[in-house]
Amino acid sequence: MLTLGSTVLGVNDVTRATAFWHAALGYVPREPGDETWIILVPASGQGAQLALMLSETPAQDHPRIHLDLYADNQQAEVERLISLGASRVDWDLYPEDPDFVVLADPDGNRFCVVAHNPQ
């Protein structure tokens, strides 16, 4: 049996990316990392891991894999993430009535902030 361990993002600066994702999600290092690799986990101990790996490859404009971050207050979270260093993406693939906003982290990795409406 397999289980999903971590989602890995390639970044240009592991220290800067660690600071951004810590501020964005409240994630903390699982163990000490270095300038090439670190695994972040929720401070509560529950939830998905996010690994950051040094990469010289540029971020893709239309990535095949991305993060969806669910937000109870989408607009407030988008503004908070922008204040932390994220940027808005001029996304050409929005549907007519999107429930998500596309942002990029400081390294240009695209991610979505999805309006979370629990049923």
Neighbours of 29 (CB within 10 A): 13
**Predicted local distance difference test score (pLDDT) of residue 2:** 83
DSSP designation for 29: E
The strand order across the sheet containing 37-42 reads 6-11, 49-54, 37-42, 27-29
Instruction: Calculate mean pLDDT across residues 10-15.
Output: 97
Q: Given this model, what pLDDT does residue 103 score?
A: 98
| 69: its two tokens | 């971050």
Query: For residue 119, what pLDDT is reported?
Result: 52
